Chains A and B, each alone.
Chain A
Amino acid sequence: MAFRKRNVPLSRTEQKPGSPSVPASTEPSSAEVPQAITGVRPSPLDGRPTTSTGTPSLDAILAGHAGLPLGNSIFIGEQGTTDYAGALLRFYAAEGVVQGHRVHVVGMGEAWGRELPGLSEKDESGRKIKTSAEEEKMKIAWRYESLSVHGAERGERFKHAGTSLSGKTGEDQAIFCHTFDLAKRLMLPVGTAINYIPIAPQRNPFPSILQNLQNDLASTPPNTIHRLVIPSLLSPAIYPPISTRPDCVLQFLHGLRALLRLHPTQLTAIITFPLTLYPRSTGLVRWMEILSDGVMELSPFPYDYAQVLSAATKEEDKPQGIFAVHKLPVYSEKGGGGNVEGLGEDLAFTLSRRKFTVTKFSLPPAEGDTEAQEEAARGSGATPMPKKEDLDF
């Protein structure tokens, strides 16, 4: 059975907002897993511990691990002036807070933490969260889930487990990824949930960031999970000019990589990066990507009024940009191979109120372009299509 119930709460769990203090004995299986940590589950591929990024469809494309393996980092570059990657970061941080993980945010004030999305009372498809009686019924199905394929549908299935925190006793222990609502605000536990790491102006800010992180890792118990959030790395709005020097930023990322490797069961990191200011074709950015474990790129489509209007009325969401995967944690490091669901597909992302989804991208047939189609049909009649043997492969 790939999924174990994780019913031993951390000592920090009581800080969760409105979280019921769950006695560990509500589930008989809890005794089997003395070391269980909330929000962590073994990878179905090789059993290494993974944690959720807060975005089910992002978890689903991480090379079959169905989560971000601990001790790894993701580097998300974004083109243009939008902040879709910021939404990913917020889900990642909010998931950490809800799971009782220690969240570190670099260069942002408490205002950023106050804007974390709150837990949704509905699941992603908009249905009401199930009541406890229904949840009991779900359990049978839940047990069989581990038998089927791990893949894109995994994220979908996890929706069913998305109870709210005010939910039922013992149930929220099994939740790997919660559903958040960007229109709501997460009620932060008093004070300590997020560690805001300041950026020192006028000098290289990176050594102090690493030291802050190291101290925190050393001072917490070894079963605490840490999440490092680095929004808009090297953005001139936050970072002093000296930090863009290769020796500063590359040494920082190298140190971060070392820290991730030294704490392979405790630390994960997600970094976002403005690609418009620092293009991917430069050596500096490529080194930053080499030093990260996963590399993604968001390229939003140009703003479209028609789409905004249609999104308000239509049920289905149109994709808002291209989601490119350049490197995946663990998978790429091994050499990259084997069957991975969804890799190599064109991916697109859609951000709505409750979710950030990454889906396969396909262009719809152009509507209203009948003239061109007829023209093409007539044209092909005049000059017939080349025969198969004429085509040179």
Chain B
Amino acid sequence: MSSYSRIPPLLQPHTRLPTDDSILLVTSTLGASANWLIIRFLCEALGRDRTVQGAADDGAVPSEGKEDVAVVLVSWLRDWGFWKNEARKGGGLDLERLKRDKRLAFVDGLTKMCLADLHEGKPESAQTPIERFQGPHQRTPLPTGRAQPTVLPVRGPPGRINARIPGPTAGTSIADPASMSSIHQGPVAQFYITSPTLKDVRSAIEGAIRHVESTGTQRKTLLILDTPSFLLASNPDITTYALSAEVLHLHKFTSHILVHVPADDALISLSEPSQPIEVEGNNFLVKMAHMSTRILSCRVLDTGYAKDVSGVLRITENASARTLDLLNTERDGDERRGRELLYLVKGDGSVKMFERGAGGDI
């Protein structure tokens, strides 16, 4: 079973990347996370190409002139171990291998952003976070003894990893010392965001983009930003304007950007008196929604918990993008404009999607 076939048929037209450069928005709520959906986007971008390149794994459809896509995954809330395990279980993707092949780069915004490095030995405790924002830190990466957050054993012979060590990564020769420090020169390049500042964020992500582009082949790049709005919440110095400008800046180097933002009511509706954290979150989400060509939002069932439904996925195509796409004759107008599907994430990681009222055959 190829990774591409892990995408439910009803979802396939919506995970396919638009032909033009574009920004896509995925939203989630507390009880309905969108991680499974991001995995499906990874499958779409990385899974199909493999069958094209690797020539007929299991009778997959031959390529329809589909271009090669490289992915840069930036995650502020989830670690590499999580993505690796979920992608393997849910999507049948071997992210570790893709990473070595420079098809994928992972930028870790979790483990080093707010956690001071023990080996630094600095009395950082005396500083407030505001003080920590000033100036980039020269952080040396942890030695190799770092605990790998793997819960399940990784399959495959361990020896293979050593056999495939690429040389010193090209494309990481950046003058900026801050970005140099955020690159771990191990067997596989690791990218870390080391402080919640836009400067660090930019240098780490740019380093990762250069890394996947350093293979030389011309291909599209999909940049996935998982919860960038946490930056707004955790650092009052970052404004919505600056963050969305940053997204646009990164869009210059990448053909597609997928932004995942939590969109709970509490985060975007203003309380009395309204807090800056809510105002900024609201503004950022609205701004992203306007910039996006497609919005996929996960939420829980309005009617409460159900055993056979995990949540509702609402898919909205942006009107302006739709008119442009009218040239594309295969489009069927209104159906794409806004539709709601129910989904069920099963225990083994597979996803079933169905229309309302059609889910009785589980």
Contacts and interface: CB of A to CB of B under 8 A. Distances in A.
Nearest to B130: A247
A339 B110 contact: no
A47 B276 CA distance: 43
B311 A336 contact: yes
Contacts of B234: 246-247, 250-251, 254
Given A335-B36, A336-B311, A264 B305 contact: no
B66 interface: no
B149 interface: yes
A24 interface: no
A261 B81 contact: yes
Interface string B111-133: 11111101000001111111000
A334 interface: yes
B236 to A, nearest CB: 6
Contact of B236 (A246, A279, A339): A246
Contacts of B171: none
Contact of B267 (A208, A218, A287, A326): A287
B353 to A, nearest CB: 12
Contacts of A333: 33, 35, 78, 82
A311 interface: no
A290 B151 CA distance: 21
Given A214-B118, A246-B233, A247-B235, A261 B128 contact: no
Nearest to A291: B77
Contact of A204 (B35, B112, B129): B129
Nearest to A281: B266
Interface string B144-164: 001101111000000000000
Contacts of A285: 266
A177 B20 CA distance: 57
B113 A254 contact: yes
Contact of A290 (B30, B147, B149, B344): B30
B52 to A, nearest CB: 28
A74 to B, nearest CB: 14
B149 A262 contact: yes
B196 to A, nearest CB: 7
Contact of B146 (A262, A264, A265, A336): A262
A193 B167 CA distance: 48
B262 interface: yes
Chain A: number of interface residues, binned into ranges: 35 or more
Interface string A6-49: 00000000000000000000000000000000000000011111
B79 interface: yes
B125 A208 contact: yes
Interface in B334-354: 343-347, 349, 351
A282 B278 contact: yes
B264 interface: yes
A292 to B, nearest CB: 10
A32 B266 CA distance: 50
A329 to B, nearest CB: 12
B348 to A, nearest CB: 9
A332 interface: yes
25 contacts: A69-B151, A210-B116, A211-B124, A242-B128, A251-B129, A251-B234, A254-B110, A258-B113, A262-B147, A264-B147, A282-B271, A282-B278, A283-B275, A290-B262, A291-B77, A326-B30, A327-B31, A333-B35, A334-B345, A335-B35, A335-B351, A337-B309, A337-B310, A337-B343, A338-B346
Q: Which 9 A-B pairs have the closest CB atoms?
A: A344-B305, A335-B345, A337-B310, A337-B345, A335-B36, A208-B125, A286-B266, A283-B278, A338-B347
Given A251-B234, A262-B79, A333-B82, 13 more contacts: A210-B115, A247-B234, A281-B265, A281-B271, A285-B266, A290-B77, A333-B35, A335-B32, A336-B310, A337-B344, A337-B347, A338-B345, A343-B305
Interface of A: 45-49, 69, 71, 203-204, 207-208, 210-211, 214-215, 218, 222, 242, 245-248, 250-252, 254-255, 257-259, 261-265, 279-287, 289-291, 295, 326-327, 332-339, 343-344
